[in-house]
Chain A
Amino acid sequence: MKRVIILLTLIFSLILIVVALKSASDKNELTLCNTCPPGFELTDENVCKLRSLYQQYESVTGNDPGVGGLKTALPTVRDGFTPQQIDLGRYLFFDPVLSKDGSVSCATCHQPSKGFSDGLKTSVGIHNTKLKRAAPSLWNVAFYKKFFWDARSTSLEEQMTGPLYSEDEMGTTREQLLETLNDIKTYQSLFHQAFPKKKSTEIELNEIYTALTAFESSLISLNSRYDQYAHGYHEALSHEEIEGLNIFRSFVARCAECHTPPLFTNQQVAVIGLAEPDGKALDPGAQQTFQDPSLRGAFKVPSLRNIDRTAPYTHSGRFNTLREMIGFYSAGRGHEVAKNEKLHIHWHIWEPNLTNYEMDRLVDFVKTLTDESFRPQQPKVLPSGIAIDKPITSQALWSIQQNTH
């Protein structure tokens, strides 16, 4: 047995060396990954399909998926991309060449180490432009039907045209984007790997959108300690955390009414009556999207998955800590609404009068929603040749997983 292990280790090391040498010699000949990211099974048709323990709860005769409760099926997922499309999307996602001057990538505001947000109150775009709203996390976007804080997009493909072509964010244009990528030999090769049936030799916009969508849809976080509890291992949470769960789902705090498990969002827009920071004018939010005054100040209910990683909170980064955020909900319906504003505040916002003890337990509970075990690797080199800083080592990844136990 021991001999077998030594032999295997030797063979394995040899393979590793060969692979390492090969990748070193083909530095400019990037090959896209032919396996699926974690969480996905590669089918015989060469597409990646999501696999999750939550699929045990899918039932033809049961209740609607994704609307709450512990053992609840997930909403429909956006999957079925090829490993190559997902991997190409990963390169594009981290590559600042997508912006007007090569300074901003998707990952600038959606940093893997910060819960795919950026740790800022509101994000900063091209030329250090301060933007209006905070960068939302990208974990589990594969399940979402609406995008942006104001719910103005209904697909990831549509969503990404916002930041890409906004003068304040990435600042590029469709023409410039195509020209730039088509000028890079490596990208030409990668797009042919990802879209082998493509007829044109040119890279096309919808291929860019598909690849980025494929990558973003691969960011799955469903293995937190909370999930272990939900699947039936009740020892996964401490006594205080279970107390927090019970406060979370109780009808006094009502958190679980909008932040419904398993995604911890019901994907609706809601008016919570939050004032803007520093006396700024009220952000109308979804009022603009739907041209409906009753939605003034309405925003998409954000997921609480990995919420411990994405401070500060709210569309304007109003609160630095979870405790402050919870304090807002407990402080009473409409307590921040300006006198001249008539807001249609959601009926779940009321006066729960939570005790300090209860608010602390809520913080304990939402921190159990952290799971970054499927965090993707940042590419070591980018097809554009632009340098990338701080690659995530597998060691760092490991330490994150340790935190979740």
Chain B
Amino acid sequence: MKIFKRVLLTVVILAAGIYCGKLIFGRGSDIPAPMPTYFSQSTEPGDSVGIGAGTITGKIIEVKKGNSIQEAVGKASPGDLIRIYPGVYNETVYIDKDNISIQGVIENDEWPILDGQKKMNDAILYSGNGVLIENMKITNYKGNAIMGQAGNNYVIRNNWIVDTGVYGIFPQFGKNGVVERNILTGIEDAAIYIGMCDNVDVRFNEVYGNVAGIEIENSRHALVEFNYTHDNTGGILAFLTQGLPIKTCYDVIIRNNYVYNNNTKNFGAVGSTVSHIPAGTGILIMAADDITVENNIISGNDNAGITITDYAFAGVDHASDPESEPNSDRITLLDNFMSNNGNNPIADVKALMATQFSKLGPDIIAVGGGIGSCVINPSRYRTFGLNSYANCQVRDTRSIKTYLLDKPVMPRVTAQIEKGKMTYYGVCSGCHAFSTRLVGPPVNVIQALYKNNPQGIVDFIAHPIHKRDDYPEMPPQNYLTEETRKAVAEYMLSITK
């Protein structure tokens, strides 16, 4: 019997080892391709795509094995859909245009794969508004799978992301976006990292085997719902990080998620914030305000189910920032199902447990300052540090279905005259003044030459020719669009001082 037990134990350990090994090293071909439960395969103009473009208004560009996605992006105009067929693509794709949709075509379980071969930094970078990225498998990059900077109205869905370096999906400075139905694993920081964004829904994603599953950082109005976060170091995080230009993180709802067994050893880069997260962290709220945690299943997280803290506790040693308020204020803990958390807490938590003579670690632990927080019926959980928490007046967040805006963020409509003015003063005035000579001829002289002829200016400034010996040749202004050149020509002809 004893031998049998020993054999069994060995087998179990071996099996666990293989499982873990696969988790960490083998995120490859032997794992069957996940089939998205829902995905769009738009094929015709008028089909619905992202929230920026709304529908495909332009052409459909097809990219097949052996061709370059970036080349297609270069050819694309706002409103176009780029469809990527199965095959391996080794490139970095950047999208500095608005309303571009990238859609993988999955045929017979075969995905289009962006593979950085561990040499390339990022798979997809975008700065445009209204960008859609879906149905792509992305693997072996060093930086990110998908990183956005300042693009609003983004949709990132149905992507399968395996070991893409620091982050998986990372929209930064974007307003009004959705990250849904993605599967991410093997990321050394946050798999889904919502950084300095506003109005975002993160839902139906599966994140496992990462240091951090889902991180909402210095963002406002975020709904994190219906995600499956398991076997990370930490499952779901809401942080206010110091030293960033956005100084607040508030109004985050963490609801209806399954936060399970987040006990993976921390493999974060030295110095990163998440490298301080103890393995076994279910949900972690640090210095963020107005966070609601509701109706989640939080189970098997060995350090603590929910941790609420300021900067002092997590061992984070960032330089302080007088403009970032360090406490987690107004945390609302509604009904959650919690079981089997805190089986193997870190020393700091054990010390706190000792003060309550508890041998079991916490479902919920709150340390540091903070005001206005509340919890419903805390006696059903093992809690530490919730003495100052009131009974919540709010019972649920049912009224909030989404944090997406009713309408996409619209670009400012710049009237033609205003555009002309911005261009004239913003660009032309370096060389042209109204009645005095700077580098080029005065505007009143130009006005006399081009009276009632703005098109003459539009054409000339795109391809100037040297006309006058007493002036240097004008450099071409062909980087301004025809429309902008027209606006500035008309404005130039209209000014009187």
Interface residue ranges, A against B (CB under 8 Å): 4-5, 8, 12, 16, 35, 38-42, 50-64, 66-72, 222-223, 228-236, 242, 246-247, 249-253, 256, 260, 266-271, 290, 292, 294-295, 298, 333-334, 344-347, 349-351, 373-374, 394-395, 397-398, 401-402, 405
B405 is an interface residue with CB less than 8 A from chain A? yes
Q: How many residue pairs at the A-B interface have CB separations less than 8 Å?
A: 216
Q: List 26 contacting pairs A-B, 8 Å CB cutoff, sorted by A.
A: A42-B497, A51-B426, A57-B411, A62-B175, A64-B173, A69-B172, A69-B173, A71-B150, A223-B426, A223-B427, A231-B479, A233-B478, A233-B479, A233-B480, A234-B74, A234-B96, A250-B143, A251-B121, A251-B122, A252-B143, A269-B319, A333-B270, A344-B317, A346-B243, A350-B271, A395-B472
Instruction: Report A-chain residues with C-beta under 8 Å of the C-beta of B448.
Output: 4, 8
When the two chains form their complex, are residues B479 and A70 in contact, meaning their CB atoms are under 8 A apart? no
* Contact call B479/A69, Cβ cutoff below 8 A: no
A39 with B174, Cβ < 8 A, contacts A16-B437, A69-B151 known: no
Distance to closest chain A CB from B2 (angstroms)? 49
Cβ–Cβ contact B173 & A246, under 8 A: no
Question: What is the minimal beta-carbon distance from A376 to any residue of chain B, in angstroms?
Answer: 11
Residues of B within 8 A of A35 (CB): 433-434, 436, 497
B429–A349 CB distance below 8 A: no
Given contacts A250-B147, A397-B439, contact A292 B127 (CB under 8 A): no
B-side interface residues toward A, CB under 8 Å?
74, 92, 94, 96-97, 121-122, 125, 127-129, 142-144, 147, 149-152, 165-167, 170, 172-175, 196-198, 243-246, 269-273, 317-322, 405, 409-412, 414, 419, 421-427, 429-431, 433-434, 436-439, 442, 445, 448-449, 472, 475-476, 478-481, 497
Q: How far is the CA of A397 from the CA of B430 in the complex (A)?
A: 10
CB distance from B197 to the nearest CB of A (A): 8
Report which of B150, B170, B437 forms a contact with A68, defined as CB distance below 8 A: B150
Determine if B425 and A41 form an interchain contact, defined as CB atoms under 8 angstroms apart.
yes
Whether the pair A292, B412 counts as a contact (CB closer than 8 A) is no
Give Cα A271–Cα B319 distance, bound, in whole angstroms: 8
Per the bound structure, the CA–CA distance linking A47 and B411 in Å amounts to: 28
Q: A residues within 8 A CB of B92?
A: 246
Residues of A within 8 A of B151 (CB): 69
Minimum distance in angstroms from A6 CB to a CB of chain B = 12
Instruction: Determine how close the nearest CB of chain A comes to the CB of B486; give it in whole angstroms.
Output: 15
Closest to B429 in A: A38
Is A266 in contact with B245, judged by CB distance below 8 angstroms? yes
**Would you give the shortest CB distance from B241 to chain A, in whole angstroms?**
8
Contact of B173 among A38, A42, A67 (CB under 8 A): A67
Q: Roughly how many angstroms separate A228 CA and B427 CA in the complex, as a whole number?
A: 11
By the criterion CB–CB under 8 Å, are B149 and A70 in contact?
yes
> Knowing A333-B270, A346-B243, A394-B439 touch, does A250 contact B125 (C-beta < 8 A)?
yes
CB of B246 within 8 A of CB of A67, answer yes
* Measured CA separation A61–B199 after assembly (Å): 11
Provide the residues of chain A in CB contact with B478, threshold 8 Å.
233
- The winner among A246, A249, A347, A397 for most chain B CB atoms within 10 A is A347
Q: Contact between A59 and B245 (Cβ–Cβ < 8 Å)?
A: no
Q: Which of B94, B165, B174, B412 touches A251 (beta carbons < 8 Å)?
A: B165
Q: For A246, give its contact among B97, B121, B170, B414 (CB under 8 Å).
A: B121
Contact status B175-A61, CB under 8 Å? yes
CB of B425 within 8 A of CB of A67, answer: no
Q: Please give me the residue from chain B that is nearest to A5 by CB atom.
A: B449
User: Do the beta carbons of A55 and B422 come within 8 Å of each other?
Assistant: yes
Set of chain B residues within 8 Å of A54, measured between Cβ atoms: 426
CB distance from A187 to the nearest CB of B (A): 24
Bound-state CA distance A57–B434 (Å) is: 27
A53 touching B246 by the CB < 8 A rule? no
Q: How far is the CB of A58 from chain B (nearest CB, A)?
A: 6
Most chain B C-beta atoms within 10 Å of own C-beta, residue among A12, A39, A69: A69
User: Roughly how many angstroms separate A268 CA and B320 CA in the complex, as a whole number?
Assistant: 11
Cβ of A250: which chain B residues have Cβ within 8 Å of it?
121-122, 125, 143-144, 147
Inter-chain contact B422/A56, CB cutoff 8 Å: yes
The distance in angstroms between the C-alpha atoms of A68 and B97, with both chains bound, is 15
Q: Across the interface, which residues of A come within 8 angstroms of B429, CB to CB? A: 38-40, 374
Task: Determine whether the beta carbon of A69 is less than 8 Å from that of B127.
Answer: yes
Is there an interface contact between B318 and A67, defined as CB atoms closer than 8 Å?
A: no
Most buried by B among A230, A346, A349: A346
When the two chains form their complex, are residues B144 and A349 in contact, meaning their CB atoms are under 8 A apart? Answer: no
Measured CA separation A232–B419 after assembly (Å): 15
Given contacts A71-B127, A347-B318, whether A38 and B150 have CB atoms under 8 Å apart is no
CB-defined contacts of A397 to chain B, threshold 8 Å: 439
B166 touches A252 (CB 8 A): yes
| A29, B186: Cα distance in complex, Å | 73
Instruction: Give the chain B neighbours of A294 by CB distance below 8 A.
Output: 317-320
Residues from chain B with a CB closer than 8 A to the CB of A251 are 121-122, 143-144, 147, 165-167, 170
How long is the Cα–Cα vector from A398 to B472 in the complex, in angstroms?
8
In angstroms, how far is the closest chain B Cβ from the Cβ of A94? Answer: 19
Q: Which residues of A contact B144 (CB under 8 A)?
A: 250-251
Using A63-B409, A249-B147, A294-B318 as known contacts, list a sample of 20 further A-B pairs with CB atoms less than 8 Å apart, ordered by residue number in A.
A4-B448, A8-B448, A12-B442, A52-B426, A64-B196, A67-B173, A67-B245, A233-B478, A235-B479, A251-B144, A252-B122, A268-B245, A269-B243, A270-B319, A344-B318, A344-B319, A347-B318, A373-B431, A374-B429, A401-B431
